[in-house]
Homo-oligomer: A and B are copies of this chain.
Amino acid sequence: MLQQAVAGKLRAIVGAQWFKDDPESLITHSYDGTPMLQTLPDGVVYPENTAQVSEIIKVLQEHRVPVVSRGSGTNLCGGTVPVQGGVVMVMHRMNRILEVDLENLTATVQPGLNTKAFITHVEGLGLFYPPDPSSMAISTIGGNIAECSGGLRGLKYGTTKDYVIGLEAVLANGEIIRTGGKLMKDVAGYDLTKLLVGSEGTLAVITEATLKLIPPPKTKKTMLAMYKDLYGAARTVSKIIESRIIPATLEFLDNPTIRVVDDFAKLGLPLDMDAILLIEQDGDAETVDRDIARIAEICAGENAERVSIAADEAEALKLLTARRSAFTALARLRPTTILEDATVPRSKIADMVLAINDIAKRHGVTICTFGHAGDGNLHPTATTDARDANEIHRVEEAFAEIFEAAIALGGTITGEHGVGLVKAPYLEWKVGAAGIEVMKAIKHSFDPNNILNPGKMFAKSARKRVVLHRG
C-alpha cells in the first residue's frame, strides 16, 4: 500500500483522474508480455509531460518508493513487472511526434508513441526508421529504447541503439538531462545516449528522443530457400556474408517451426525440410536483382532443395507471413509459450540449433527455433504449460543450458529482449563478475537509493525462472 501522503502528492501533480489505485488498475499493470510473472503495484500514474515526470520522481525519491516506467509492456524479459511494488508510471499520454526535421533527417518524439504509428508516419514522408520489433503494432518507442529492440532488419540496418541520437531523461533525483542532439557526431563527454538505450528503465526515465531517419530503399525482393540439411542452411548464411552481400533480412525457421507455421497459415510449405531461410534484399533495382541472383546461386551451391523468388509483392508478403506468424502459430500449441533470444556469432548458427535440439531432447521438452540467422539472433521457443510445475522446471533447466551453450559459442544470453527479471540470473555468465560489479557501480551512480525499476538486471543469486508474488 502506498502511503496516503504519496498518493495525495501524485494526484496533486497529475490530477486525480491520472493516478489510480483501484484493484483493476493494479492488476492490469501487474504483468507484461513475459509469461508466469506477476506482482501487484501500489499505484499507477500517467504523466502528461516531462515536468510532471520530474515532480513524480522527486516525490517517489523522497519517500523511497520504487517506480517502473513503462510503455505497452510487450517485453519478454519481465522488464516492466513491478517486482518490488511501488508505482507503475505509464507513458502513454506522452505519445506525440514533436517534429520530423527533413533537412537533418531526424524525428523528435515522446516515449509513449506507438512504434508502428511512428514508422507509418515517417514512411508517409518518404523516410525510413528501420527498427521493427515483432511487437511494433503494440509497443512504444520508449519501450523500444529501454530494451534496445531489434527486429528483422537488424542485420543490415542495426537496432534501436543505432537510431537514437539524442535523449531527454529524468534522473532519479528528478533532474532533467539532455544528451546528444540532431548531430551525427558528438563526443562531448561520455556517451550517455547509448548508455541509456537498453538500460531497461534502471538508470533514468526517458521523456523524449531524437531519432535518426534514413532514405528508404527503392525496391525490395524476397525469396525462400529450403534445405534438408541444417548445415547447408547455416553455411548459406555465412557464404552470403562472405560474398560481401548484407541482405536486409535473413531469417531462419527449423523443421518444427515450419510444421506449426504451415498448419496455422496454410502456406503449403514443404514439411520434410530441416530448415527454411527467408531472405530479402532491398536497395536500387539493379543491386537487388544482382544480389538476389547471386544469393540464389549460393543457396543452390549449398544444396538447397528448393529456391523460390517471390514474383510480386503479394507473394513476398506470403513468404514473410511464414516468418512473422511463427510466434503466433507456436503460441496456439500449448497454454504457455516461452520465447528466448540466445544469440551467437552468425558462423555458429548450425552448432547452436543442434545444441538446442539436443538439450530439448535430453530434458524432454518441445523447443522450436526460428530467428534472425543473419545476425545470429535465434529465438528458441518452448511450448509448455505453466500449470505443470515439473515440465516448467525442465524447460527452465533446458534454457539454462541453452544460454550456457550460446556463451560457449562466443554468444550472449540476450540479443534483443533485454535482461529484466528473467535473464538476471544469467547475466554474470556473459559479463563476468567484474562486469557485474562495473554495471552495479553505474547503477548506483545513477540511482543510489535504487528506486528506478529495482530488482531488474542484477539477480540476488538464483538462476531459475521464479514466479513472483507480492503486495
Which residues of A are in contact with B by a Cβ distance under 8 Å? 101-106, 126-127, 147-148, 150, 154-155, 158-159, 161-162, 171, 175-179, 181-192, 194-195, 197-199, 203, 214-216, 238, 241-242, 244-246, 283-284, 286-287, 290, 343-347, 372, 374-377, 410-419, 423, 427, 430-432, 434-439, 441-446, 457
Nearest CB of chain B from residue A130's CB, rounded to whole Å: 13
Which residues on B sit within 8 Å (CB–CB) of A190? 195, 198-199, 203, 439, 442-443
Can you identify 28 A-B contacts, CB atoms within 8 angstroms? A101-B345, A102-B242, A159-B185, A162-B162, A175-B437, A178-B431, A179-B435, A183-B343, A184-B377, A185-B375, A185-B376, A185-B377, A185-B412, A185-B415, A186-B415, A187-B416, A188-B414, A188-B419, A189-B419, A189-B436, A190-B198, A190-B199, A191-B197, A215-B245, A215-B246, A216-B244, A441-B446, A445-B445
Which residues on B sit within 8 Å (CB–CB) of A376? 183-185
Q: Copy number of this protein in the oligomer?
A: 2
Evaluate contact between A413 and B188: CB separation under 8 angstroms.
yes
Q: In the assembly, what is the distance between CA of A437 and CA of B189, in Å?
A: 11
Which residues on B sit within 8 Å (CB–CB) of A161? 191, 194
Evaluate contact between A246 and B347: CB separation under 8 angstroms.
no
Evaluate contact between B187 and A418: CB separation under 8 angstroms.
yes
Asked whether A434 and B177 contact (CB < 8 A) given A103-B347, A347-B104, the answer is yes
Evaluate contact between B432 and A192: CB separation under 8 angstroms.
no
Which residues on B sit within 8 Å (CB–CB) of A430? 188-189
Which residues on B sit within 8 Å (CB–CB) of A438? 171, 177, 192, 445-446
Q: Name which residue of chain B comes closest to A436, CB basis.
A: B189
Evaluate contact between A198 and B187: CB separation under 8 angstroms.
yes
Evaluate contact between A171 and B347: CB separation under 8 angstroms.
no
Q: In the assembly, what is the distance between CA of A423 and CA of B184, in Å?
A: 19
